[in-house]
Amino acid sequence: MEIGRISLPKVKAVVVSCGMITPYGWGIDACWNGILSGKTAISRLNRFKTETFQSDYAATVDGLEYHQKDSLVMQMLKSLFHGTSVSIPQDAKLILATTKGEIDFLERKILKGTGDNSSCNLTSLLKKVSALTGVQGEGMIISAACASSAAAVARAAAMIRSKNSDCVLVVACDSVTEFVFSGFSSLMALDKFAARPFDKDRNGLSLGEAAAFALIMSESRAKDEKKQRLGEIAGWGLSDDANHMTGPSRDGDGVILAIKKALKAAGIGESEVSFIAAHGTGTVYNDAMEMKAFRAVFRDAKVPVYSIKGGIGHTMGATGLIEMIIALRALKEKKIPPTVNLKEADEDARGWVSPQERPVDNNKKVLITNAGFSGINTALILC
């Protein structure tokens, strides 16, 4: 930014701590090692009856109890925050990202006639998360379909760069419930077994569940408090192609726009992107649309692309934050994760995706893309 002839540096938004619980288990190590193993956490679902649905496979977290006092997402969040030694500053601004939150409370009321369905609203969950983490203030909710937590990360970074805050806590969560599963089944969007992102025989997504958090600070506050810098959110972009209530635009224009906005915000060219963490759901149209967008932006460069959804399934509102944390780990380890369940890449994706891990080159910048119902698209640049 420039004022007259004086050039002022941008305020950098840096990630100082994070954590997750996924179908691979508790913690980042469990998820990272699970993805690198190439073994999927998607398995036969026994949480509810699935005979009338398109599939009976999903990726769920072990040990959760269905239709109990605590919702599935609160069980994950309590395990996540009680199991971490991370100190959350009370003055952190809270952003909660989710699609359906505690929707299992509404299910329990409708199916079993027990409980209070008013407690399934997202405002109630926000208050619980605020109490659980100890932050002060009202906080905000971002519910932007499956781009929710990526949009929340973008919002957090924007708040820091604009100096509206110097510390933001992003919390994301979603769970596999009968309500959610039946919805995706009615759309004929589920793979019968496990999702195969970018595979020539891909045939749908697999649902997953997860909870995650990231504490994001201004670089100056992180230095003052001697916090470890895990990575920087250097750029972000959002768009909406307004194509269809659930289907992505076939031309990829919305994703292209989001990527270009993110590159501009980061102040870099496309040649500086080392690899891409794609949304990669495993549906025919999503993966084709993303590859069309990548080819339009990066042309013949064939930047390495991967998706983690063949491993942990599509974790809906939590997916962007989970993918950001794994991408930061990939930068640290200088390893591009494999695309789990990829057998033979679709023609459009050949040379871009791989079932094997690959080394990270010296550019050390990663692009993360996400897309959600209603046509919303997000892109993040990390370094």
Q: Which residues are catalytic?
A: 146, 279, 314
**How far, CA to CA in Å, does 205 sit from each of 79, 336, 344?**
27, 22, 17
Cβ count within 10 A of residue 283: 24
Counts of helices then strands in the chain (DSSP H, E): 11, 17
Q: What angle do CA 114, 119, 124 make, to 5 degrees?
A: 160
Task: At 59, give phi and psi (nearest 5°).
Answer: -110, 110
For residues 217 and 160, the answer to whether their CB atoms sit within 8 Å is yes
Cβ count within 10 A of residue 292: 18
For residues 47 and 176, the answer to whether their CB atoms sit within 8 Å is yes
- At 256, which amino acid appears? I
